[in-house]
Amino acid sequence: MTKRVCEIILDVIAPVSTRQFFGMTGDTLNPLLDAIRRDGRFEWMGVRHEEAGAFAAGAQGKLTGKLGLCAGTTGPGALHLINGLYDAKRDRAPVLAITGHIPTSEQGSTYFQETNLKAIFEDICVYNQYVSNPNQMPRMIQQAVQMALTEGGVAHLSIPSDIINQEIPASDLHRDVLVSTPTIMPCPGELEKAADILNKGGKIAILAGDGCRGARDELLQLADKLNAPIIRTLRGTDVMENDNPHWIGGLGMLGSPQGVNAIEECDTLIMLGTDFPYGMFLPGGRNIIQVDVKAAHIGRRCAVTVGIVGHARPTIVELNKLIRPNSETAYLEKLQRRREKWDNTMDKKASLENRKMIPPQGLTRLAADLASDDAVFVVDVGEVTAFAARHLRLRGSQRLLGSFNHGSLGVGLPGAMGAQALDRNRQVVALCGDGAFGMMMQDFVTAVRYEMPLTCIVYNNEKLGFVELEMQATGFPKYGTKLVNPDFAAYAKVCGGKGITVTKAEDLEAAINEAYASKVPYILDVKVNPDELILPPKIDAAHAWGYSFAKLKELFVEGEDQ
């Protein structure tokens, strides 16, 4: 008995993958597509652009921890995957990318569509190989899958058209994939050093990231003992329900004042499961205890007093055994009062009463409030990210996905496709700015084709709003940020889905409910107030002056494309 290379790939990945391939086929990948057709265990999801396929596969990896799958054919098809795969890399999502390659006999001759894919993919991948001989299978696919799953990242195999359909003997077929996910336990000596600092008491804050996922109860026990506020990173937004009294607010430019205050005023900061990139928001001259599963992350953003290498949950469990209750209460109580004040301010911004134009804050809040308790929100990049960070008050088992490290426009729709394909019965909502949605809107028809009843909410302000704010904050007049949009609701219907345009606040709730109840993909095109500002949690003189100066410049820029 023999099996083809493409068949062996499917045998190896079947037990550990989502079993949904996103991609566009073509000459060199045709044997793989035929193997998927004959196999019966997999679903081929033919996208209109390979970047959408990579985003969708990455979203599945983030949600499930299983191997997301995408494919692109020779040259341009493979290159189109790259941006979506960079997003998976930055969020440590396990993804396997299969790319076709030109025949081995033509390589090195500048043949049609010839590219050096191994070199091009090198910066993206935890495993990146060119298959030059069919007998490298199944060992090579086994290694690729294991690396993607255990390291958390992208594995890539580039397979020539004259290799992928070749057969190898049965004696070489069996290769099991190691899927064990060991827990990294903290070093006792490091725990004791951390406990010594924490047992001195004072104002202690916790910065919780995505690494705290699955450790909610233990994290709360730690916060209770220490009377500590928990400040969240953007990726850690859905680690805990929004209404918990320890859940003080976010950090960074999209954070909240009380979140920034908590960091600035603490005596000791515990960084749990986060490699928070913005060092300017981290305190200097304080005790900082950092816990991370990656040793390379310890201390690279700020000076650390104690570094602990380990998973967040077992580290918290062991710390809870060593620490004594902290008597400091005023610090947390003051921050809770500040949070209450901030929440009231956000409520006013989100209010839809007596509004001539729909506030994007109100749209975001209503989208969350009307969603099911296990809804998945996929937020795109731009102003909509800020509205999601401040106005999505998550509850239950709701999840929030986005391109929070790579920061790529266009992730919303394809990310929602990946999430929805996993479970057609789970509510999935893409929150997209009009600029971001316009980048990947061609694949809305893919959602229709594969019967994904997702909802795309488009924040239509007819401009690249975040870019405009960046320009003005640095003293430049707005220029080149205007958009000319199609009728998104009509586009939804042309694709075979449903859509509606909303211009009045009083119509919004009914429109969202209709979209959520739809059995086919739905575009909710909402004309939001284009003049809503996103203010950072603290405004310094430089930003204030830059914005004022930009506004003055605009007075003298007449007739320009703004």
Catalytic entry in 12, 239, 381, 526: 381
Structure tokens at 280: 């300017």
Structure tokens at 482: 């205007």
The greatest distance separating any two alpha carbons of the chain, rounded to the nearest whole angstrom, comes to 78
221 is catalytic: no
What is the DSSP pairing of strand 247-250 with strand 230-232? parallel
Reference 375, options 489, 455, 449; nearest CA is: 455
Reference 177, options 21, 64, 13; nearest CA is: 13
Q: Tally Cβ neighbours within 10 Å of residue 1.
A: 7
Q: Are 381 and 18 in contact (CB under 8 A)?
A: no
State the Cα–Cα distance between residues 421 and 21, nearest whole angstrom.
11
466 is catalytic: yes
Helix (H, G, I), strand (E, B) or coil at 55: helix
Catalytic entry in 43, 106, 107, 113: 113
DSSP string, 352-385: -TT-SSB-HHHHHHHHHHTS-TT-EEEE-SSHHH
Measuring CA to CA, how many Å separate 334 from each of 222, 228, 229, 263, 339?
19, 11, 10, 13, 9
Residue type, 146: Q
| DSSP alpha helix (H) spans, 44-116 | 50-64, 76-79, 82-90
472 is catalytic: no
113 is catalytic: yes
**Start-to-end CA span in the chain (Å):** 67
Buried b (16+ CB within 10 A) or exposed e, 206-233: bbbbbbbbebeebbbebbebbbbbbbbb
Catalytic entry in 16, 20, 47, 50: 50
Structure tokens at 541: 């003189």
Measuring CA to CA, how many Å separate 188 from each of 217, 310, 371?
22, 11, 44
Q: What is the DSSP letter of 467?
A: H
DSSP string, 305-324: SEEEES-HHHHHHHHHHHPP
442 is catalytic: no
The residues annotated as belonging to the active site are: 50, 112-113, 381, 466
